[in-house]
């Protein structure tokens, strides 16, 4: 048995040995290829690493050069803007928004007109203001000056502790679009009250472009809360409420509601990089150059009426919306009335005139303005309906006065667009307001 097993083991070992020798021979034969493959892999790894390092260095140099070039360009742009401000001629600088109202014939004889429209364009920059959304940023020019609180300054106002304080509220027509500082309604009230009263007079113009009546009331509340209590408050507004409702189909909301909501809800959020880019001198220079090329054709920027979202396109009834607008304004009137009793000031609400209303003999220019206004059918219908309701509904309120017919006896050009007038028109409006204030003061004695 042992011999048999030994024989089997020998046979098994003999059967295995040839295979082992074959593998050794095969390994020896493949070894040079394995070595070469390892060398190639090592070479590829080294080459790939070298490529990554080289690419990184190249990208870093490219980015660094780009940053250096941009910084140099930004510094050059800054110098260009500074030098341009110093050496540019007035004809090159005094560029307005390019709207038709800037070319109304009245301005051709006014040596301040070009500068006023130029400063108006520059002063439209806005910043956030608590509770009311926006006010203009501080600005100082020859025809327009705005303080740190976004209030357009009234020439001659003496706002000392013993002054007779008058607060005016409203949208762009009260703010004074189209007029220099000395030609606004507030400025004419200042001059008129100085003649009628003894002692210092302080007229503060809290109006702001596109404001609705609720924003006016909030501005008044903010002043009262701070201890700045007026003797007299004048409201001159309805156009802002109508325009905002025309846009959104809702009463009692601010202008451009959809855009404000989109920004707040981050639906159209700009990146932080874009915001930083917009703050550079390079961006300002390019924006200024593009502005000079395109500002002469503002019609290219404005969307056609058919493209705008309006109450009519939303399927909202004009009668319902106009009634809601009036109810909202009436609510604000009652709030101001209650505040007046609490704080001891007098108040008046004035319904502004409009080129499509009243019986003024219109000049050919004014007729063209009115015709263009009436072509905006949806806005014209809403505006007319709201005015009709408010004139009827507010007639019983003793502190409400309609100014719709204030220009009926003036043949000369007054209107520069459908809602704004020349400084002469502002003077007429201020005189009418002063007549109302004087008459009421006489009745109360």
Q: Residue 19: pLDDT above 90?
A: no
State pLDDT tens for residues 276-319.
555 565 555 555 555 544 444 443 344 444 445 789 888 999 99
pLDDT at residue 302, rounded to an integer: 42
- 21-30, 298-307, 341-350: which has the highest mean pLDDT? 341-350
DSSP string of 326-384, one letter each residue: HHHHHHHHHHHHHHHHHHT-EEEEEE---TTSS-----HHHHHHHHHHHHSHHHHHHHH
Calpha distance 68→303 (Å, rounded): 40
d(CA 147, CA 139): 7
Residues contacting 74, CB < 8 A, separation 6+: 280, 281, 282
Cα–Cα distance for residue pair 239/221, rounded to 1 Å: 21
Nearest to 100 by CA among 341, 336, 373: 373
Helix (H/G/I), strand (E/B), else coil: 107: helix
pLDDT cut 90: percent of the chain above it: 63
Q: Can you tell me the distance from the alpha carbon of 414 to that of 360, in angstroms, rounded to the nearest whole number?
A: 10
Separation of CA 215 from chain center: 15
Report whether 173 contacts 419 (CB < 8 A). yes
**Per-residue model confidence (pLDDT) at position 441:** 82
CB 240 within 8 A of CB 169: no
Q: Are strands 346-351 and 232-236 parallel, antiparallel or unpaired?
A: parallel
User: In percent, how much of the chain has pLDDT > 70?
Assistant: 74
Q: Is the pLDDT of residue 247 over 70?
A: yes
Return the pLDDT at 1. 47
Average the pLDDT over 39-65 and give the result: 71
Question: Mean of the pLDDT values across residues 164-173?
Answer: 98
Highest mean pLDDT among 55-59, 255-259, 323-327: 323-327
When pLDDT is averaged across residues 346-365 and rounded to a whole number, the result is 97
* Burial status of residue 106 (CB atoms within 10 A of its CB: 0-12, 13-18, 19 or more): buried
Q: What is the mean pLDDT of residues 114-124?
A: 97
Contact 141, 84 (CB under 8 A): no
Q: Does 405 score more than 80 pLDDT?
A: yes
Per-residue pLDDT averaged across 128-150, rounded? 97
Contact 400, 334 (CB under 8 A): no
Give 420-440 pLDDT, tens digit per residue: 999 999 999 999 999 999 998
Give the position of tokens 């357009």.
Answer: 152
Q: What are phi and psi of 40, to 5 degrees?
A: -65, -45
Could you tell me the two tokens for 193?
């009250």
For residues 349-363, average pLDDT: 97
Q: Name which residue leads in pLDDT, 71 or 150.
A: 150
Q: What pLDDT does residue 297 have?
A: 44
- pLDDT tens digits, residue range 82-118? 555 545 444 457 899 999 999 999 999 999 999 999 9
Kindly state the average pLDDT of the residues 339-352. Answer: 97
């Amino acid at each position: 048995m042992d011999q048999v097993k030994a024989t089997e083991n020998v046979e098994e070992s003999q059967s295995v040995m040839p295979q082992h020798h074959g593998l050794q021979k095969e390994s020896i034969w493949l070894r040079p290829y394995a070595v070469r493959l390892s060398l190639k892999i090592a070479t590829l790894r080294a080459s790939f690493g070298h490529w990554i390092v080289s690419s990184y260095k190249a990208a870093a140099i490219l980015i660094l050069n780009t940053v250096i070039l941009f910084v140099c360009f930004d510094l050059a742009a800054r110098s260009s803007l500074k030098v341009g401000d110093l050496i540019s001629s007035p004809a090159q600088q005094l560029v307005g928004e390019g709207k038709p109202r800037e070319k109304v014939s009245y301005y051709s004889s006014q040596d301040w007109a070009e500068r006023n429209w130029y400063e108006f364009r520059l002063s439209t920059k806005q910043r956030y203001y608590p509770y009311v959304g926006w006010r203009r940023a501080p600005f100082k020019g020859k025809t327009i000056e705005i303080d740190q609180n976004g209030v357009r300054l009234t020439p001659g106002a003496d706002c000392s502790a013993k002054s007779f304080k008058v607060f005016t509220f409203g949208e762009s027509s009260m703010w004074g679009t189209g007029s220099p500082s000395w030609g606004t309604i507030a400025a004419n009230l200042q001059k008129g009250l100085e003649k009628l009263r003894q002692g210092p007079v302080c007229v503060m113009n809290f109006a702001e472009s596109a404001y609705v009546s609720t924003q006016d009331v909030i501005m008044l509340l903010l002043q009262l809360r701070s201890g700045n209590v007026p003797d007299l408050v004048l409201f001159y507004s309805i156009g802002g409420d109508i325009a905002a409702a025309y846009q959104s189909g809702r009463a009692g909301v601010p202008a451009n509601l959809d855009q404000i909501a989109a920004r707040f809800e981050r639906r159209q959020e700009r990146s932080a990089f874009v915001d930083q880019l917009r703050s550079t001198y390079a961006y300002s220079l390019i924006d200024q150059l593009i502005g000079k090329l395109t500002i002469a054709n503002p019609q290219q920027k404005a969307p056609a009426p058919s493209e705008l979202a309006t109450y009519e396109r939303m399927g909202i009834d004009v009668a319902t919306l106009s009634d809601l607008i009036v109810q909202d304004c009436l609510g604000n009137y009652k709030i101001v009335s209650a505040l007046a009793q609490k704080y001891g000031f007098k108040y008046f609400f004035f319904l502004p005139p409009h080129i499509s209303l009243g019986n003024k003999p219109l000049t050919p220019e004014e007729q063209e303005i009115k015709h263009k206004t009436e072509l905006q059918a949806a806005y014209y219908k809403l505006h007319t309906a709201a005015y009709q309701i408010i004139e009827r509904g507010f007639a019983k309120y003793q502190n409400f006065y309609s100014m719709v017919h204030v220009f009926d006896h003036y043949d000369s050009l007054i209107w520069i667009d459908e809602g704004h007038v020349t400084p002469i028109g502002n003077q007429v409006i201020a005189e009418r307001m002063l007549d109302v204030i004087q008459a009421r003061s006489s009745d109360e004695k």
